[in-house]
């Protein structure tokens, strides 16, 4: 495995591989790897000839006062884990390689970026769309792997790739969880032990929603109310939103029908956590 820090070198490697008939898989990350990241890499390894993982804590997706400086980092450990699952290249640029002085272009995916997490983080998804757009240009892979844990990110990236005509297929990968159900996240380390115990509220609320829908409930208000009942049992968890919406446009639903995204966000101590599930409602 090789670590590359310059855009031109990275693009050259990918272009030569594609000219030689290879399929390239891209896995964008901010590092501090856990099993969720490794699952994306394994999936790319299984489906592509050449696997490129990017490791970049992207400043444009953090607002002032968010956790850019505190974001956990451990490059040597990440390098070993990526190598262990058979990654070919890690692209780990410095911030000024990605955003040289004078950079001023932002990619804005309207509509999808302002709802759900976009309410608390109004500039976040334009930062994500901008960096992913740049990564698609630097690493013109045929397939790009994203975790379903960040469902809104998947929706934004799919829209951006379609709208800007990137010939890449976006592959969503199911959420990897801790044994008690908590979705794995680099930010889980921000929680104190008692907070960590209560963080199961998110996945438990989703399980309660699933159970209700499976028993025949189709009213979104009733499902959300059952989810709020779960949160009420966990005082350390401050619910930010529950969204019951379609999975493409993220428009809220009154009645559950078809592919339904049920998503939650909550604050637990220093951590802001998100989780979701997709339901196929007949």
Q: Which of 120, 243, 266, 272 is nearest to 185 (CA)?
A: 272
Helix (H) / strand (E) containing 222? helix 220-232
Which positions are catalytic? 37
Tokens encoding 224: 């959300």
Residue 200: left if φ>0, alpha if ψ -120 to 50, beta else—which one?
alpha
106 phi, psi to nearest 5 deg: -125, 145
39 binds ligand AMP (CB under 6 A): yes
Quote the least distance from Cβ 67 to ligand AMP, whole Å.
12
How does DSSP assign 166-193, residue by residue? Answer: ---EEEEEPPPB-TTSPBP-GGGGGS-H
Compute the C-alpha angle 52/57/59, nearest 5°.
Answer: 130
Q: Give the separation between CA 279 and CA 245, rounded to whole angstroms.
A: 10
Of 172 and 279, the one with the shorter C-beta distance to ligand AMP is: 172
30 binds ligand AMP (CB under 6 A): yes
Per-residue binder mask for ligand AMP (CB under 6 A), 81-120, x = binder: ----------------------------------------
Q: Which of 177, 149, 138 is nearest to 54 (CA)?
A: 138
Of the candidate residues 92, 176, 220, 242, the single one contacting ligand AMP (CB under 6 A): 176
275 binds ligand AMP (CB under 6 A): no
Of the candidate residues 82, 90, 156, 184, the single one contacting ligand AMP (CB under 6 A): 184
Of 206 and 220, the one with the shorter C-beta distance to ligand AMP is: 206
Tally the residues of the chain: 282
Of the candidate residues 185, 188, 205, 247, the single one contacting ligand AMP (CB under 6 A): 185
Quote the least distance from Cβ 156 to ligand AMP, whole Å.
12
Q: Which stretch binds ligand AMP (CB under 6 A): 92-100, 169-177, 188-196, 252-260?
A: 169-177
User: What residues make contact with ligand AMP under the rule CB under 6 A?
Assistant: 29-30, 36-37, 39-40, 146-147, 149-150, 173, 175-176, 183-186
């Amino acid at each position: 495995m090789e670590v590359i820090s310059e855009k031109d070198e990275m693009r050259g490697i990918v272009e030569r591989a594609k000219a030689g008939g290879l399929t390239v898989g891209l896995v964008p990350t901010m590092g501090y790897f856990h099993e969720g990241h490794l699952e994306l890499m394994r999936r790319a390894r299984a489906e592509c000839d050449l696997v490129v993982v990017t490791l970049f804590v992207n400043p444009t997706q953090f607002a002032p006062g968010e956790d850019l400086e505190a974001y956990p980092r451990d490059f040597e450990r990440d390098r070993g884990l990526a190598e262990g699952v058979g990654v070919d290249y890690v692209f780990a640029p410095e911030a000024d390689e990605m955003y040289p002085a004078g950079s001023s272009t932002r990619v804005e995916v309207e509509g999808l970026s302002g709802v759900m997490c976009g309410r608390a983080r109004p500039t976040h998804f334009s930062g994500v769309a901008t960096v992913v757009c740049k990564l698609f240009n630097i690493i013109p892979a045929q397939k790009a792997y994203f975790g379903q844990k960040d469902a809104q990110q998947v929706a934004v990236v799919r829209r951006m790739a379609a709208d800007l005509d990137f010939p890449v297929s976006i592959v969503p990968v199911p959420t990897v969880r801790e044994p008690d159900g908590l979705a794995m996240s680099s930010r889980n380390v921000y929680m104190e032990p008692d907070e960590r115990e209560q963080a199961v509220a998110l996945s438990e609320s989703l399980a309660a929603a699933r159970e209700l829908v499976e028993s025949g409930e189709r009213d979104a208000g009733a499902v959300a109310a059952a989810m709020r009942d779960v949160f009420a049992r966990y005082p350390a968890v401050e619910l930010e939103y529950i969204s019951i919406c379609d999975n493409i446009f993220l428009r809220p639903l009154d009645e559950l029908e078809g592919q339904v995204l049920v998503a939650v966000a909550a604050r637990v101590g220093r951590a802001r956590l998100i989780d979701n599930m997709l339901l196929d409602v007949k």
